[in-house]
């Protein structure tokens, strides 16, 4: 099978396309013919080992897993002897999570992993761009939005993989959504449900005024100290790409003696329950995956450059079979 591989950390040139052995599913596994995958911010960070701590689990001197890629969509090619509920020919989408390996024409994963049926109304390209952005936005926003209508939500990075889902979830749950991105993407985020937009090239954040209940920074372009004045006292600052500083701020802001807005960081656990939840809303048309661009596997280096630019729109999809 064809796959994109990297054997050392570095720039996009360390990723090349080669031929690898097709995986063999064991008794509990499902072999998937991958039709489409994505290149995410997680992929380029892993390829660069950025931050350096990535090496602690991905391989100290060189990557242990040479094939990047988390999320995918495709067709069940074979199932192990003990697998029930999935059949050859099923259209599915899912994620290999931190195990990675989805930038390949076939993946094998356990049947009880993050793997669900692809709704009929979605193409494979759309289905590839669900888990990374959708499960992340869902994990961060659900506790603060789902059962609390009429919240005021600010999405920083509203046009990226996580941001496009954050805007849509906000709209779906009845929030008043303001999105920050460049003017190039204002029509897009408005079409997804943003009622107000801010062009960060003119001003990084909206003017303080009517306070927000929730600020979600999907791209790490703000800070808690700058967003504090935008937030209600009971508000939360959701830091999707938070580093040590934000994790420390989370601890401090949750101390019994502290008052005012709180910081929340999380490590997202991509799982089948969330994938199924997303599939249901995608099937009803309440959510739509945004595919900014589709490239061929042979264009994988170009895909990495675009993802690393920090300006990709929605999901950057890679088609595994078309040239």
Ligand X SMILES: NC(=O)c1ccc[n+]([C@@H]2O[C@H](COP(=O)([O-])OP(=O)(O)OC[C@H]3O[C@@H](n4cnc5c(N)ncnc54)[C@H](OP(=O)(O)O)[C@@H]3O)[C@@H](O)[C@H]2O)c1
Backbone φ, ψ for residue 97 (5° rounding) = 55, -145
Given the complex with ligand X, which of 79 and 317 has the nearer CB atom?
317
**311 Cβ neighbours under 8 A, 6+ residues apart:** 182
Residue number of the CB atom closest to ligand X: 160
Smallest gap from Cβ 205 to ligand X, in A, equals 9
Closest approach of Cβ 48 to ligand X, in Å? 12
What's the min distance (Å) between Cβ of 307 and ligand X? 6
Binding-site member from 114, 240, 264, 287 for ligand X (CB under 6 A): 240
Q: Indicate the burial class of 63 (C-beta count within 10 angstroms; 0-12, 13-18, 19 or more).
A: buried
Return d(Cα 76, Cα 79) in angstroms, integer.
Answer: 7
148/184 with CB nearer ligand X: 184
Question: Would you give the binding string for ligand X spanning residues 172-211, x where CB under 6 A is met?
Answer: --------xxx-xx--------------x-----------
How big is the site for ligand X, counted in residues (CB under 6 A)? 33
DSSP class of 185: G
Residue from the set 95, 105, 159, 249 that interacts with ligand X by CB under 6 A: 159
Q: What is the largest CA-CA distance in the chain?
A: 61
Range 35-48 burial, b when 16+ CB lie within 10 A, else e:
bbbbbbbbbbbbbb
CA atoms within 13 A on the CB side of 260: 14
Nearest distance in Å: CB 79, ligand X: 29
Relative orientation angle of helices 300-309 and 41-48, to the nearest 10 degrees: 100
The interface with ligand X within residues 68-127 (CB under 6 A) comprises none
Of 12, 35, 41, 275, which lies in the binding site for ligand X, with binding defined by CB under 6 A? 41
Question: Which among 41-49, 84-92, 110-118, 247-255 is the span making contact with ligand X, rule CB under 6 A?
Answer: 41-49
Whichever of 41 and 151 has its CB closer to ligand X, that residue is: 41
Q: Which tokens in the block code for residue 289?
A: 């995956």
String of contacts with ligand X for each residue 261-300, x by CB under 6 A: -----xxx--------------------------------
Angle between helices 161-172 and 136-145 (to 10 degrees): 30
Between the alpha carbon of residue 73 and those of residues 33, 100, 230, 271, 273, the distances in Å are: 8, 14, 39, 15, 17
Q: Smallest distance, Å, CB 285 to ligand X?
A: 22
Residues lying near ligand X in the complex (CB under 6 A) are found at 40-42, 45, 132-133, 136, 156-157, 159-163, 180-182, 184-185, 200, 218-221, 240-241, 266-268, 310-313
């Amino acid at each position: 099978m064809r796959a994109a591989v990297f054997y050392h950390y570095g720039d996009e040139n360390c990723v090349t396309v080669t031929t690898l052995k097709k995986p063999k599913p064991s008794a509990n596994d499902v072999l998937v013919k991958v039709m489409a995958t994505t290149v995410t911010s997680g992929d380029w960070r892993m390829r660069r080992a950025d931050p350096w701590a990535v090496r602690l689990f991905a391989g100290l001197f060189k990557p242990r897993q040479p094939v990047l890629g988390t999320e995918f969509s495709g067709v069940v090619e074979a199932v192990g002897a003990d697998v029930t509920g999935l059949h050859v020919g099923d259209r599915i989408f899912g994620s290999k999570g931190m195990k990675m390996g989805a930038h390949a024409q076939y993946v094998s994963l356990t049947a009880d992993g993050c793997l669900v049926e692809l709704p009929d109304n979605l193409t494979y390209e759309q289905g590839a761009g669900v888990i990374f952005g959708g499960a992340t936005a869902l994990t961060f926003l659900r506790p603060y939005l789902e059962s609390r209508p009429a919240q005021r939500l600010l999405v920083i990075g509203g046009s990226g993989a996580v941001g496009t889902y954050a805007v849509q979830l906000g709209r779906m749950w009845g929030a008043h959504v303001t999105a920050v991105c460049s003017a190039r993407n204002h029509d897009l985020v408005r079409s997804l449900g943003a009622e107000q937009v801010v062009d960060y090239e003119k001003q990084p954040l909206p003017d303080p005024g009517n306070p927000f209940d929730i600020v979600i920074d999907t791209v790490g372009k703000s800070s808690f100290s700058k967003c504090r004045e935008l937030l209600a006292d009971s508000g939360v600052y959701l830091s999707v790409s938070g580093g040590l500083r934000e994790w420390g701020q989370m601890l401090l802001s949750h101390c019994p003696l502290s008052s005012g807005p709180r910081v929340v960081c999380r490590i997202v656990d991509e799982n089948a329950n969330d994938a199924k939840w997303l599939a249901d809303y995608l099937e009803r048309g309440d959510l739509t995956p945004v595919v900014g661009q589709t490239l061929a596997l042979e264009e994988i280096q170009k895909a990495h450059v675009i993802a690393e630019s920090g300006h990709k729109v929605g999901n950057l999809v890679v088609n595994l079979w078309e040239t």
